[in-house]
Amino acid sequence: MKTSVEATGKNIEQAIENALFELKASREDVDIKILSEGGLFKKARVVVS
């Protein structure tokens, strides 16, 4: 079972949701670190562990 995952999305919320889905975890059970907030042509990146 993975303990952390880096995920991307069109915004921070989407990136977090993608990571939670991959970890099969709920938001209350994880720590979230924002790597990039994204922007016009960049995706948001987060690490969830």
Among residues 40, 27, 9, the alpha carbon closest in space to that of 48 is found at 27
Q: Give CA–CA dist 41/43, Å, rounded.
A: 7
CA atoms within 13 A on the CB side of 45: 5
pTM: 0.90
Length of the chain in terms of residues written = 49
Q: What is the pLDDT of residues 1-49, one digit of tens each?
A: 679 999 999 999 999 999 999 999 999 999 999 999 998 899 999 999 9
- Residue-number span of the structural domain to which 16 is assigned: 5-48
The number of domains in the chain is 1
